[in-house]
Amino acid sequence: MAKGEGNVGLVRVGIVQERNEPGPTRYHRTNRDRFDRARSEQRRTNEGLPSGSTLSTDEFLESTLDVWEISSESAQRIGHPAPFPVALPERLINLYTFEGDLVLDPFMGSGTTLVAAARTGRRGVGYDLDPAYVDMARERLSEPPGHLFPPFDKKILDIAVGALTSAGFAIEGTNRRVAGVTVPIIARDSADARWFVDVTGGFTVSPGGLATTDGVLRSLGKAAILGRESTNILLLTSHLPQPATEAGRILKETHGRLFVEALEIADDTTPAALRALAHR
């Protein structure tokens, strides 16, 4: 029997992919036991080896579920017929290795595992029979990690404040109560207009923030209340929903009515979008 959400146990992971487009792909763990690293943190410290874990408690608990739901990657976008979503190797790397470790993918394809290694502060090495895929992996790895991959130890609120400030907003306050709800960020644009910025999600591997129906409805409920005070409402999130999901449809339908824009913080188009909003 599959372990449902919220049930916690210790497992060893084998992964089987189930295709269920559209929406998140489901990955089933196939055998269970414990999450074991080859050497414990203590033993690694004693041996002078890297021993810094980057696995948060929340992520560990999520990892113990039998079914991992992770948004699938588009073969067309990546240019490889069967790319993993980065989130999948990222979770496994966080579970089984330490910062600074060396991760090997002997069938690297477009280099997803190496991207995940870079994103989690590991070194990566990979090979592939097809030289075109090796070039593709090199190119993916040459992208500046800063905007694509926010540092895992930074809180999403700090990242959002940084992104708004760089775009030209002045921060008036964080976590302020307005009309009975908490507003993560209040900012002023270049014309001194006041913006309410809802910040949701976190940089764990499973989609949170606005990727779920619950997340979207929570943000929109807040936006409906705040709309009485100002129509300048911006939603910043770690994960936007896939367009064909319920959350995606709700967000599209309410775009421009309950909020001005919903942006994924780590998306490389977000800095320009924020600049346009700050100076409109």
Ligand X SMILES: C[S@@+](CC[C@H](N)C(=O)[O-])C[C@H]1O[C@@H](n2cnc3c(N)ncnc32)[C@H](O)[C@@H]1O
Q: Rule CB under 6 A: which residues touch ligand X?
A: 80, 82-84, 106-107, 109-110, 112, 127-130, 133
Q: Which is nearer to ligand X, 80 or 239 (CB)?
A: 80
- Shortest Å, Cβ 87 to ligand X: 11
Which one, 120 or 232, has the nearer CB to ligand X?
120
Closest approach, Cβ 182 to ligand X, in A, equals: 39
Residues 197 and 232 sit within 8 Å (Cβ to Cβ): no
Cβ closest to ligand X, residue 110 vs residue 237? 110
> What would the 3-class secondary structure string for 51-111 be?
CCCCCCHHHHHHHCCCEEEEECCCHHHHCCCCCCCCHHHHHHHHHHCCCCCEEEECCCCCC
Q: Which residue, 79 or 168, has its beta carbon nearer to ligand X?
A: 79
CB of 29 or CB of 80, closer to ligand X = 80
At a CB cut-off of 8 Å and minimum separation 6, what does 130 contact? none
CA–CA dist 211, 3 (Å, integer): 22
What is the widest separation between alpha-carbon atoms in the chain?
Answer: 60
Task: Name the closest residue to ligand X (Cβ).
Answer: 109
Determine contact, residues 235/274, Cβ cutoff 8 Å.
no
Shorter beta-carbon distance to ligand X: residue 79 or 271: 79
CB of 33 to ligand X, least distance (A): 25
* 114 and 126 Cβ atoms separated by less than 8 Å: yes
Q: How far is the CB of 132 from ligand X (least distance, A)?
A: 9
Q: Name the 3-class secondary structure at 176.
A: strand
Q: Helix count (H) and strand count (E) of the chain?
A: 11, 10
Minimum distance, C-beta of residue 215 to ligand X, in the bound complex (Å): 27
**b/e code 202-237 from CB counts within 10 Å (16+ = b):** bbbbbbbbbbbbebbeebbebbeebbeeeebbbbbb
Could you tell me the smallest distance in angstroms from the CB atom of residue 85 to ligand X?
8
